[in-house]
Amino acid sequence: MISEKIYKRIIATGGVLIVGLLLSIFFTLFINSMPSIKKFGFKFLINKTWDPVFGNFGALPFVLGTLLTSVVSLIISIPFSLSLSLFISEYYRDRFFSKIFEIFVEILAVIPSVIFGLWALFYLAPIVRNIQIKLSLPPTGVSILTASLVLSIMIIPYATSVGKEVIKLVPYDLKEAGFSFGATHYEVIRKVVFPYAKSGIFAGFLLSFGRAIGETMAVTMVIGNSNFLTFNIFHPANTISSLIANEFLEAVENIHISVLIELAFILFIITLIVNFIANFIIKKMRVSL
């Protein structure tokens, strides 16, 4: 048996390693971004032009593309992940169908992103192309919407897994009390289950949102890889991850490489901000219970 002293040392060592890893990533990205930061400064964040040939770089189209794609995918995924969580953990708990659905959800979570990208390219892109034709838009098929649709499918397992486990933790006595007052199953879920499990469900949504922000391969294959600023979800665009994947190996100028690393640094900061906000909101939700 491991003594309490050794156990505490193992925990402390693990904490130090995690902090050290985060600091290492932070400073590695920051130091290698310095040539870009010194040359472009804050204008880099608001510049809309991306022209490596003439050395004109702007991050705004890719920051917006990353956030827009992730937010749209999260909005699309919420009703499906919430429905699956309730189906598995509440309506058909401990039944054969719920076990089958649970297995399918777990399989979705481990499918490589390149497979999702290929599937979206051959299945979702033609559907989006038909929508674009009906709206008299350029029938590219690849767009922010296409990337958001495949991302929503990819992040559903993460929110569902967290949601179903949190819902299962709701005390049975609380639900029985609701039923004893004559409440229907729907009313018990709305008045008892959701208020008790809302912080955990919200955490699952934020976990899936973080997954969507950093996705690379599937998004690169279907977003269109356009370096122009757009707010239209039917137009091609680009994300920070897809831009780095497309251009990093081809970059030869030191400033070009530094700019791409600065974009990675910005993505890292965005991820940290999302996590800090998520933790703050979850703590507030727990206090209000």
pLDDT at 22: 86
Q: Does the pLDDT value for residue 8 go beyond 90?
A: no
Local confidence band at 2 (pLDDT 50, 70, 90 cut-offs): low
Long-range CB contact pairs, 46-53, < 8 A, 24+: 48/228, 48/229, 50/227, 52/247, 52/251, 52/253, 52/256
Structure tokens at 144: 């922010």
- For residue 203, what are the contacts with CB-CB under 8 A and spacing of at least 6? 162, 166, 278, 282
Mean pLDDT of 182-189: 79
| pLDDT (tens digit per residue) in 135-162 | 888 888 899 999 999 999 999 988 888 8
Mean pLDDT of 241-257: 88
- The residue with greater pLDDT, 15 or 106, is 106
Structure tokens at 207: 């976990």
Which H or E element spans position 169? Answer: none
CB 231 within 8 A of CB 240: no
Give, in order, the Cα–Cα distances in Å from 273 to each of 16, 126, 135, 238, 270: 21, 36, 37, 21, 5
pLDDT at 4: 63
Residue 225 domain boundaries: 4-288
Of 66, 45, 44, residue with least CA distance to 55: 44
Which H or E element spans position 223? Answer: none
Mean pLDDT of 258-279: 88
Percent of the chain with pLDDT over 90: 35
Which H or E element spans position 55? Answer: none
Local confidence band at 197 (pLDDT 50, 70, 90 cut-offs): confident
The 10 Å CB-count burial string (b at 16+, else e) for 12-32 is eeeeeeeeeeeeeeeeebeeb
CB 78 within 8 A of CB 205: yes
Of 30, 59, 29, 35, residue with least CA distance to 46: 59
Mean pLDDT of 263-270: 92
The CATH number given to whatever domain includes residue 127 is: 1.10.3720.10
| pLDDT (tens digit per residue) in 29-79 | 999 999 999 998 888 999 998 988 888 899 999 999 999 999 999 999 999
Say which DSSP state 234 is in.
T
Give, in order, the Cα–Cα distances in Å from 141 to each of 39, 234, 271: 37, 8, 29
| C-alpha distance across the termini of the chain, in Å | 39
Query: What is the domain count for the chain?
Result: 1
What does residue 237 show for φ and ψ, rounded to 5 degrees? -155, -160
Of 232, 235, 240, residue with least CA distance to 261: 240
